[in-house]
Amino acid sequence: MEKIFRYHFRDKNKKITFNILLYFLITFVIARIFVYATPWRIFIKGNHVHHLDFGIIILAIVGYWLLIDNNGNRLKIAKLYGIGLGLTFDEFGMWFHLQDNYSIRLSYDAIIVVSIILINIIYLESIWKKIFK
């Protein structure tokens, strides 16, 4: 697997973006399976804690980690960033409608848009550079 990856992505930045995309999509799928397959929910003082809250916390940790990191942990940070994005954007529809509804179409649309942006960064970088030059 690593050989295939190295063949297609010689640029380290593409490897980082690819890992963000991969962990973003895996997290989205796992979150959706968990939401639809289990009745289990977290409540604190009667308030439902959504996984978007955990995603925001992870994104805050990643932002801070990037500011203080001097050890070259960019790949680990990218994976954690993808997980945070996945948890947060999985409930994107709730940002606007503020309803406890996991099947809001806007959430699926957000996952598609973020995936398309990341795929463009990974695979079409040279084309975008030519267009905006």
As a whole number of angstroms, the distance between CA 91 and CA 71 comes to: 33
Residue 124 has a pLDDT of: 87
Which regions in the chain score pLDDT beneath 50?
A: none
Q: Output the average pLDDT for the chain.
A: 88
As a whole number of angstroms, the distance between CA 94 and CA 107 comes to: 8
Q: What is the pTM of this model?
A: 0.84
